[in-house]
Amino acid sequence: MSSTEKISDVETGTDTSPSGSSSQQAYAEERRTTEGPVYTVSGGDWDDVLSDAEHDDRMVINMGPQHPSTHGVLRLVLEMEGETVTQLRSVIGYLHTGIEKNCEYRTWTQGVTFVTRMDYLAPLSTEMAYCLAVEKLLGIKAPPRAELLRVLLLEINRIGSHLVYIATGGMELGATTAMTLGFREREEVLHLLEHLTGLRMNHAFIRPGGLAQDMPEDYQEAVSAFVKTMEERLPLYDKLFTGQPIWRNRLKDVGFLPVDACLSLGVTGPVLRSAGLPWDLRKTEPYSRYDEFKFDVPTSTDADCWARYLIRVQEMRESLKIIKQALKKLADEGPGPVMVDDAKVAWPAQLSLGSDGLGNSLEHVRKIMGQSMESLIHHFKLVTEGFKVPPGQAYVPVESPRGELGAHLVSDGGTRPMRVHIREPSFVNLQSMPAMAEGGLVADVIAAIASIDPVMGGVDR
């Protein structure tokens, strides 16, 4: 057999040698071991996918997954003619954690600690969508105070997420001042969230039925101080960036994506609103008392990176409005429960931390153990086994900083989810990368990625 004939056979995925099998794939060759056959899978089918990009006057470049301008572990395969991008492919999967599958092996409450690690810049949004879906299946609703506190936390988290967009986007485009300022303000957000929930990130604070616990006694003063700080510092962004001609020219008319393309690709969030459609689930499909708040939905018809920057800056101002209204409503309504009054669901009961800040206080333990043996057994079973959720399925979307984040949960009537799937806006919005970048310069690819503001933890969940 000639070498030419052998290559042809390999390309068709068959092996015509006497010992070969017609079903054996060339890229997954078998190796015999004492435990049985082992298959070594090489780089997949990217050589075949990219075969149409082999032109004498064009070159294929890998941007990522280690490239600092690709928002982490995103890989972009660019076909270029000079500095013009003629074809772009997004390659994902380098950060895959199997979070959705892991949730099937945990109780409904424990699932919160997993989903909060998807979009790690807006963990509270994922917690919110997941818990609202669980509550929909249970047929319950969080107490009014818990709903207001959820809104408060979500808007603080939204500001922090948008600040990271400015910081990382500016750094990728060479504006190091944007990075230092953005992360300086984000530290204010993280300090506040740590004070309110106990953790800077991945809070697992929003639970099915309400919240893990109430706010600290000085939360009104702490949040008010944060609002005052942000109102003083946000005008600095207008001076340094909005009114800066270099920044404006770098983003203007770059990454164009009109509204019809957004709708075709399922794009939501600031990218969709930058194309002129005021679609914000806090307004169009209100949840958690958002219909009681007065705020605007910033839009633009420019549909470029510049418009997305302006919208996110304005959204931070609108979030500050919501936070101030939430504080007033909380003060007017006074104290109240933050977890449903259902002993079969309300886990954990109102925690009372010990002096070490780690476990329950002795008073709390005595209260549980002193009620009755049946109460203690119930508490133990609720924590270890979890509560049962009626059979069914539910989908609940919320407006995360990146767009529509929906939780689709399926229950078979047990104490664990049968299926958990999150509609992550970063994953869906990345579909727009080719439409934004093809035909433009390679330098503008960086600006387009930054304007989408993807979080790869949400993409590779």
Tokens representing 331 are 């003060």
- Domain identity same for 14 and 113: no
Tokens representing 18 are 């006497």
pLDDT at site 58:
77
Domain span at 17: 1-44
Number of domains the chain is built from = 2
- 121 lies in a domain? yes
Q: Kindly report, residue by residue over 235-274, the tens digit of the pLDDT.
A: 988 888 888 888 899 999 998 999 999 999 999 999 999 9
Q: How far is CA 157 from the centre of its chain?
A: 12
- 358 lies in a domain? no
pLDDT at site 23:
45
Rounded mean pLDDT for each run of 10 residues along the chain, 461 residues in total: 40 42 54 74 60 67 80 86 89 87 90 91 93 93 93 95 91 87 92 91 90 90 94 89 88 91 92 92 92 93 92 94 94 90 71 56 71 73 85 94 94 93 92 90 90 88 82
- Domain identity same for 40 and 106: no
- 113 lies in a domain? yes
Residue type, 197: T
- 354 lies in a domain? no
pLDDT at site 292:
92
DSSP-derived pairing of the beta strands 210-211 and 403-411? unpaired
pLDDT at site 50:
58
- 194-197-201-203 Cα dihedral, nearest 10 degrees: 160
DSSP-derived pairing of the beta strands 403-411 and 392-400? antiparallel
Question: For position 216, which CATH number holds?
Answer: 1.10.645.10
- Domain identity same for 26 and 124: no
- Domain identity same for 23 and 116: no
3-class SS of residue 399: strand
pLDDT at site 244:
85
Tokens representing 311 are 């919208």
Q: Where are the alpha helices (DSSP H) in 92-122?
A: 99-103, 111-115
- 22 lies in a domain? yes
CB 447 within 8 A of CB 251: yes
- 90 lies in a domain? no
| Stated pTM of the model | 0.83
Closest CA to 430 of 265, 259, 252, 253: 265
CB 100 within 8 A of CB 421: yes
Question: How far apart are alpha carbons 368 and 348 in whole angstroms?
Answer: 12
- CA dist 163 → 25, 26, 194, 320, 400 (Å): 48, 48, 17, 13, 14
- Domain identity same for 132 and 281: yes
- Domain identity same for 232 and 329: yes
CB 252 within 8 A of CB 304: yes
- Domain identity same for 19 and 166: no
CB 124 within 8 A of CB 190: no
CB 308 within 8 A of CB 167: no
Domain end (from 11, 29, 44) = 44
- 159 lies in a domain? yes
- Domain identity same for 28 and 104: no
SS3 of 388-424: CCCCEEEEEEEEECCEEEEEEEEECCCCCCCEEEEEC
- Domain identity same for 451 and 328: yes
Residue type, 211: L
- Domain identity same for 216 and 289: yes
- Domain identity same for 30 and 109: no
- Domain identity same for 38 and 151: no
- 292 lies in a domain? yes
Question: How far apart are alpha carbons 109 and 387 in whole angstroms?
Answer: 8
